[in-house]
Amino acid sequence: MSLDALKTILEQLPDPSYVEGTAKLSERFAIALPDGDVGALDDKRFVDWLLEHAEAAPFGDHGETKLDPKVRHAKRLVARSKAVVAGFDPAGVLPAIEAALSPRFHLDAKLEDVTVYETGGKFARHKDTPRTANLVGTLVVGLPIAHEGGAFSIVDAGQRHDVDWSGTPDPSAVRWVALFSDVDHSVEQVKAGARVTLVYSLSRSDRPRADAARDDKLASLRKAVGALTIPKAQPLMIACTRQIVTDGTQPQSIDTLRGTDREIADTFADSGFDVAVRACIVGDNEEGGDPGFPDTQHMYAITRLSKAIPDSVVAGMDEAVSFTDAIDAEEYEEEGDEPMGGTLLGEYVLDMVAMDRWVIRTRAAASVIYEGMYSETGYFGNEASMGHIYTLAAIEVTTAKR
């Protein structure tokens, strides 16, 4: 089977990045604080009560926790995960979430925050990068409190979807949305009233989950993989559609994968292949704009990493970046000039894998870590490029070692 044929099969697999729904409240909704104080949804002072026990909600920025109302204008309960919720149990919506985002394993939901977006409240576009391998995503539950604006905007693979809970709600139900933690999302400005949400983290458990309907959709992939032959010393690389934790020495276990990426990896493993996850980098020749995955049309290879590039190195990338251990710019240097400086990535690079060994799906994900001048060979003559450097995760499939 050709890799083009394999790609066609992979493209046909459902690969949702979010799921939404409605759930009836099981009893009178209330929130209890650790000191015993209780606020009830049907109390006219409920929002005021929340604000009396709240603090400014921060956001993460490259490992730092910051407060800036221009980025995030919201409040959160000081009690955070120690608050106790009555009237809504996330267990009631987990089956629907698992079917979309975690077909192979059950999820555990944990309350993280109760947030209030008052009039003028907002949260700029961002993504919640997973910090542990088990973190799958986030469940946001909107309480039935009238407000205007405040749509939850999701952008994934270039497509935008707005989850709008504004207007007059059904007081006996909540609306919810769950999404992978690496998906871009924002809260649009609240124009009137208050948007109040419960925020849960969704983590993959070690409890396997059976899904007959999903298994049927994987049948064609299992058949194709069973007939596939991979030459020795020539890995098959499949770019992931989810941005995942790939820190440290490479490759990593497929336990870091989630959603459809994990199902694909499991299918190859079940067929006897060695399967792992590899952090990679690749550059393009496009300047500016809002790039997604790089255009593969003029790409001849993608670079595999032997270990992930640390955040500190990414943050300090200089005016020139070399994928090797040296920078050769003698052609441009005058006698007496200081040697050209820059960032060297050679210690992180393993090798380059030609594009004829790659399957790049339409929804493949990559993140820009640098924009400027770079060279994959270390030579900054006519082999240098002006553009972006991306990082991505890939499923790495090789013939099983005997």
Alpha-carbon gap, residue 189 to 168, rounded angstroms: 17
pLDDT tens, position by position, 342-356: 999 999 999 999 999
Range 18-208 has CATH code 2.60.120: yes
Residue (of 83, 74, 79) closest to 56 by Cα position:
74
| Angle at alpha carbon of residue 326, lines to 322 and 332, rounded to 5° | 80
Side chain identity at residue 374, one-letter code: Y
Alpha helices, H only, 328-395 = none
Out of 27-31, 131-135, 156-160, 344-348, pick the least confident. Answer: 131-135
pLDDT tens digits along 207-225: 999 888 888 889 999 999 9
Residue 333 has pLDDT above 60, yes or no: no
Sign of CA dihedral 377, 380, 381, 385: positive
Q: Please tell me whether the overall predicted TM-score, pTM, comes out greater than 0.95 for this model.
A: no
- pLDDT computed for residue 329 by the predictor: 78
Across the chain, mean pLDDT equals 92
Asked if the model's pLDDT at residue 46 lies above 90, the reply is: yes
pLDDT at 312 over 80: yes
pLDDT at 141: 99
DSSP H or E run through 212: helix 212-217
| Nearest partner of 75 among 123, 109, 21, 41, judged by Cα | 123
- Cα–Cα distance for residue pair 100/95, rounded to 1 Å: 9
Angstrom distance (rounded) from CA 211 to CA 205:
16
- Asked if 209 contacts 128 with a C-beta cutoff of 8 angstroms, the reply is no
Q: Which pLDDT value is given to residue 127?
A: 83
Average pLDDT of span 138-159? 95
Neighbours of 218 (CB within 10 A): 19
pLDDT at 378 over 70: yes
Domain boundaries, the chain: 18-208, 229-398
Instruction: Tell me: pLDDT of 11 over 70.
Output: yes
> 232-250: per-residue pLDDT in tens?
888 999 999 987 766 789 9
Q: Which two tokens stand for residue 24?
A: 């009836």
Assign 91 a pLDDT band (cuts: 50, 70, 90).
Answer: very high
Model confidence at 182: pLDDT above 80: yes
